[in-house]
Amino acid sequence: MRLRPIYYDTETTGVRSDKDRIVEIAAFDPEKNLSFVRLVNPEMAIPKEATAIHKISDEMVKEASTFRTVGEEFRDFCEGAVVLIAHNNDSFDKLFLENEYRRAALELPNFPFIDSLKWSRKYRSDLPRHTLQFLRELYGITANQAHRALDDVMVLYQVFSYMIDDLSMENVLELLSKKVTLSHMPFGKYQGKSFVEVPKSYVQWLKSSGALDKSENKELLVHFEKLGYLS
């Protein structure tokens, strides 16, 4: 069965999915040309630092529904054979969804997910950055109110459409599941250089900064260990 894409985004009280809460969730179904956006009462105070980013205040959400209601509405919006797409999905939005549904004692359907950040890092390794706003500028998409959920969703829809061209969602999922063997440095000041051309001192700096400990850079770590750069 062909999967229908639904682009989505969340705004939250912070970055810890185990303790922070969703304050806004938005989605766009391009095939039906329907959008979904709801403020969510997180049942906790929104830190000023979070409000400074997404501009959502305690006053704005005090009359909003809790996630138990919004989660049911979102689930209804995503009916059918769909795939959910978010930027940094696997490390952020999906984790928040899973925790919110668990806390609300609601069942989260077994949706397939696509992380557009992972796609960008994997298939546009020539780029110096992979943030949504950088990709927006790269593809010449009109600026929006960054860090409000529906605005980011609409930008993501346009960005990802450029990035995958005419690939189906099934093709995208298949390609993301395939392992790509690195042959050149994928980022940083030595991007595009073969591994042997990267100075040992730079590799050791990457290690000390924690960059090589990130899950997406494990293959890099293995390459440089084999070269003896980290001994």
Number of H helices, E strands in the chain: 10, 5
Task: Please calculate the CA angle 156-160-161 and round it to the nearest 5 degrees.
Answer: 115
Q: What is the pLDDT of residue 145?
A: 66
Instruction: Indicate if the alpha-carbon torsion angle 69, 91, 159, 30 is positive or negative.
Output: negative
Q: What is the pLDDT of residue 183?
A: 73
Reported as a single tens digit per residue, the pLDDT across 9-29 is: 999 999 999 999 999 999 999
Domain co-membership, 47 together with 114:
yes
> Measured between alpha carbons, how far is 105 from 43 in angstroms, rounded to an integer?
16
The answer to whether the CB of 217 falls within 8 A of the CB of 189 is no
Domain co-membership, 173 together with 186:
no
Q: Which of 87, 147, 184, 223 is catalytic?
A: 147
> Measured between alpha carbons, how far is 22 from 28 in angstroms, rounded to an integer?
18
Model confidence at 95, in pLDDT bands (50, 70, 90)?
very high
Q: What is the pLDDT of residue 163?
A: 95
Task: Please calculate the CA angle 147-16-121 and round it to the nearest 5 degrees.
Answer: 60
* Catalytic status, residue 147: yes
The residue from 154, 177, 200 where one domain ends is: 177
Domain that holds residue 90: 4-177
Domain co-membership, 149 together with 111:
yes
Domain co-membership, 34 together with 123:
yes
Residue 80 has pLDDT above 90, yes or no: yes
Domain co-membership, 80 together with 132:
yes
Q: What is the pLDDT of residue 215?
A: 75
> Measured between alpha carbons, how far is 178 from 159 in angstroms, rounded to an integer?
22
Residue 45 has pLDDT above 90, yes or no: yes
Q: What DSSP state is assigned to residue 194? A: B
Instruction: Record the tokens describing residue 31, joined without a space.
Output: 């095939």
Domain co-membership, 147 together with 128:
yes
pLDDT-above-70 percentage for the chain: 98
Domain co-membership, 120 together with 221:
no
CATH of the domain at 138: 3.30.420.10
Q: What is the pLDDT of residue 128?
A: 85
Q: What is the pLDDT of residue 180?
A: 64
Domain co-membership, 58 together with 105:
yes
> Measured between alpha carbons, how far is 181 from 178 in angstroms, rounded to an integer?
10
Q: What is the pLDDT of residue 147?
A: 66
Domain co-membership, 140 together with 216:
no
| Domain count for the chain | 2
The answer to whether the CB of 66 falls within 8 A of the CB of 43 is yes
Reported as a single tens digit per residue, the pLDDT across 132-156 is: 999 999 999 987 766 678 999 999 9
Domain co-membership, 34 together with 147:
yes
The answer to whether the CB of 40 falls within 8 A of the CB of 21 is yes
Give me the half-sphere count of Cα atoms (radius 13 Å) on the Cβ side of residue 212: 17
The model's pTM is: 0.80
Residue 82 has pLDDT above 90, yes or no: yes
Domain co-membership, 18 together with 48:
yes
Mean pLDDT of the chain: 92
